Structure 1
């Protein structure tokens, strides 16, 4: 696992999830699903924070990767983060996010 992906996954798990929580609690009004405590603004802010921190980590630690590949990898990590948050599984998303974000980002690192 390249260090840039490791760092991106760690930042997605910590900062992305933290931003989603803080923004959702502070500004969230519309819950999704209705019975959940998670809010739409939390999902959106977590997605953008995850994209931003993973793009930064890839730019900082994997500078030889072309920018389009960095964007695809960061976007894939953010989409996986959002998907796992939306699913609301019985397994804690703090366990699933680093595993699946890392797998998907590594997949695109190898393929592209």
Structure 2
């Protein structure tokens, strides 16, 4: 349950923070012709890591701190990579699927 809660929070809060920070403070666009900004990417990644870690800490208290950090970091990285790729499929569809798959895989393997 904690993994999927973390993935849902990563995709909703991370995307929201990236948008708000990117529009409000972003000056440097990446790629150049995109409306997405570097500050949006960074703030989305940090927010994703934070909410992912918090959800794991809250709902999966039995796992180790290192495992929580690795799983939350992987979810944030997947979020960032999907955001950077700017595929034709909406990232709001891809993020929950791939974040939860990668995080669940690491939860089982670690």
TM range (shorter): over 0.9
1:93 corresponds, among 54, 76, 91, to: 91
In structure 1, the partner of 2:42 is 44
The structural deviation recorded for 1:22 is 0.1
Could you state the TM-score of these two structures normalised by the residue count of structure 1? 0.97
Q: Distance in 2 between matches of 1:27 and 1:107?
A: 35
Q: Indicate the residue corresponding to 1:66 in structure 2.
A: 64
Pairs within 5 Å for 1:11-90: 11-90=9-88
Of 4, 7, 23, 1:6 maps to 4
- Distance, in Å, in 2 between the alignment partners of 1:18 and 1:48 is 12
Structure-2 separation of matches of 1:9 and 1:72: 14
Which runs of no fewer than 5 residues in structure 1 stay unpaired? none
Name the SS for the 2:30 alignment partner: coil
Matched residue count: 110
For structure 2, the residue ranges without an aligned partner over 5 or more in a row are none
- Alignment partners' CA distance in 1, 2:8 and 2:100: 9
Deviation at 1:6, TM superposition (A): 1.0
TM-score normalised per structure 2? 0.99
